[in-house]
Amino acid sequence: MMRMSTTHLNFRKQTGVSIVTAIFLVVILALMGTGMVSLLSTSQQSISQEITSAKAYMAGRSCLQWGMYQAIFDADPWANDPYVLNFNNAGLINTRCINTRFEVVTNDGLRFFNITTTANYGASADPEFSQRTMRLQFQN
């Protein structure tokens, strides 16, 4: 009989442990959930910025290719006014090349074209604004 009563007394001493354990688990799970939501939000912003950066990069490449065409086939590609290109198709709205300039360099009798372009996506106040400046040197 003595043995039964000691077991019974130990059981009564542990009655609040399950509530403390449940509260501890709920707090840990809530902290993990908050961390996952924060991580997801940061990841979404990062991916969005990568997409806008890629759009500005591709617009810059398009402007360099357009500049190569103008330098080779246009009669006067070195006008003082910089060329401006706006892309208005469905995927590149708010994407444009704001400045495409040409320069001719003669070195050792060889003629090189330098093209510099600045492309951007969005407005400068926009949180997803992205701007790329690219340079290309080629020989006709």
Mean pLDDT of the chain: 78
The residue extents of the domains of the chain are 2-139
Torsion of CA 55, 56, 60, 63, to 10 degrees: 70
pLDDT above 70 coverage of the chain, percent: 75
Question: Which tens digits make up the pLDDT trace of 53-82?
Answer: 888 888 888 888 888 887 777 756 555 555
Contact 115, 99 (CB under 8 A): no
Overall pTM surpassing 0.75 (yes/no): no
Burial 27-62 (b: 16+ CB within 10 A, else e): eeeeeeeeeeeeeeeeeeeeeeeeebbebbebbbeb
Q: Measured between alpha carbons, how far is 90 from 79 in angstroms, rounded to an integer? A: 31
Residue 2 has pLDDT above 60, yes or no: no
Residue 4 has pLDDT above 70, yes or no: no
Q: Name the pLDDT band for 23 (thresholds 50, 70, 90).
A: very high
Q: Taking the mean position of all CA atoms in its chain, how far away is CA 14?
A: 54
